[in-house]
């Protein structure tokens, strides 16, 4: 079993601000240290594109140059922390129904199924 962060990626055929990888019209890109430079560029492009927003007053005006305008959608550290916390919460939320399911369908192996919570040092959400 592999658990790793992934981005939903959409094609951007006309993107030319920096090198990006070839992409199908829709897919997933696993984030890890093995990404080629063009794949890293694809990830940065997708994050900025998906988080495109009108700047709030406390962030100042949106840059006027094409690169600055595009990059204003990058996530802040606080946003990244919230996304990671949400992913952790999603796993915790899954552990309770997984434990119930295991008790009903695999009673002799239910402890092994719920060992996931211990391995991740998480408690099931109540």
User: Is the CA virtual torsion 27, 31, 35, 41 positive or negative?
Assistant: positive
Q: What percent of the chain has pLDDT over 70?
A: 82
Q: Is the pLDDT of residue 39 over 90?
A: yes
* β-bridge mates for residue 9, sequence order: 27
Predicted pLDDT at 28: 92
Tell me how far apart the alpha carbons of residues 104 and 107 are, in angstroms, rounded to a whole number: 6
Q: Is the pLDDT of residue 1 over 60?
A: yes
Cβ atoms within 10 A of the Cβ of 45, count? Answer: 24
Residues 61-104 have pLDDT tens digits of 777 787 887 777 677 777 778 888 888 888 888 888 888 888 89
Q: Is the pLDDT of residue 58 over 80?
A: no
DSSP 35-69: --HHHHHHHHHHHHHHT--PPPGGG-PPPSSHHHH
Predicted pLDDT at 34: 93
């Amino acid at each position: 079993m592999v658990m790793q962060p992934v981005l939903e990626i959409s094609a951007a055929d006309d993107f030319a601000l920096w090198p990006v990888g070839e992409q199908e019209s829709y897919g997933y890109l696993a984030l890890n240290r093995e990404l080629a430079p063009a794949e890293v560029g694809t990830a940065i492009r997708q994050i900025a594109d998906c988080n495109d927003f009108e700047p709030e007053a406390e962030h100042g005006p949106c840059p006027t140059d094409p690169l600055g305008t595009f990059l204003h959608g990058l996530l802040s550290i606080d946003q990244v922390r919230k996304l990671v916390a949400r992913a952790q919460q999603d796993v915790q939320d899954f552990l309770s129904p997984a434990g119930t399911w295991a008790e009903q369908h695999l009673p002799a192996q239910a402890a092994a199924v719920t060992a996931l919570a211990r391995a991740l040092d998480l408690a099931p959400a109540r």
